[in-house]
């Protein structure tokens, strides 16, 4: 079964448009944006989407480089994400992805450890998973973030891929471990 998934921030399509496009799930944002016409999901929008039969998953992002703040930033983001999720009435068991909207550099070029290569970004996601659980939280980003998290020993089994991953040469994903890669939506 194919499910059409969309993610959107500042441009909010009408429910009728989503239904006409046969969208079954949407990724909606949480983060520091508190403007009334901003990209954060509101309780009213969550209720409309749910009533229309459209599933919602969360993407936490307010600054492209926020994940470079490491574990200290992740601690702040987990607190804010949980509060905002509660405020809109979203159940705890829905997927919640934390975005790194930049090309993550190689922080450890001499290392072969994929998590070390993520540097503070790896620390950010390790904190997220330690405090939210890998079943309920994942990463949203480009090729290097996703591929290095995939190949690392980090316990995450849920990742989200952005369009950049799909345009890269197909990497061999034949690793002998149980990892599910979800390709939910592309920007």
Mean pLDDT of 172-180: 32
0.95 cut: is pTM over it?
no
- Answer yes or no: are the C-beta atoms of 96 and 136 closer than 8 Å: yes
Contacts of 24 (CB under 8 A, 6+ apart): 3, 4, 5, 53, 54, 55
What pLDDT is attached to residue 127?
92
Q: Indicate the helix (H) or strand (E) that contains 86.
A: helix 70-87
The yes/no answer on whether domain 4-182 falls in CATH 3.20.20.80 is yes
> Does residue 35 register a pLDDT over 60?
yes
Q: What is the pLDDT of residues 98-146, one digit of tens each?
A: 999 888 999 999 999 988 999 999 999 989 988 887 667 888 888 888 8
Token reading at 13: 């399509």
In the numeric block, the tokens 């690793």 are attached to 175
> Does residue 147 register a pLDDT over 70?
yes
Most confident of 3-17, 67-81, 162-176: 67-81
Contacts of 154 (CB under 8 A, 6+ apart): 115, 122, 125, 126, 129
Token reading at 81: 């994400």
Q: What is the largest CA-CA distance in the chain?
A: 52
């Amino acid at each position: 079964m194919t499910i059409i998934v969309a993610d959107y921030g500042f441009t909010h399509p009408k429910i009728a448009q989503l239904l006409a496009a046969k969208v079954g799930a949407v990724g909606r944002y949480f983060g520091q944006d508190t403007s009334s016409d901003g990209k954060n999901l509101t309780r009213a929008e969550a209720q409309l989407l749910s009533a229309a039969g459209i599933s919602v998953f969360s993407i936490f992002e307010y600054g492209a480089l926020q994940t470079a703040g490491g574990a200290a930033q992740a601690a702040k983001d987990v607190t804010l994400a949980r509060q905002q999720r509660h405020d809109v009435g979203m159940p705890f068991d829905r997927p919640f992805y934390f975005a790194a909207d930049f090309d993550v550099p190689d922080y450890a070029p001499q290392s072969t450890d994929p998590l070390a290569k993520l540097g503070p970004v790896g620390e950010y996601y390790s904190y997220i998973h330690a405090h939210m659980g890998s079943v309920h939280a994942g990463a949203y980003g480009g090729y290097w973030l996703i591929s290095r998290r995939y190949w690392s020993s980090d316990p995450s089994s849920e990742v989200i891929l952005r369009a950049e991953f799909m345009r890269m040469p197909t990497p061999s994903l034949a690793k002998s471990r149980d990892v599910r890669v979800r390709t939910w939506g592309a920007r």
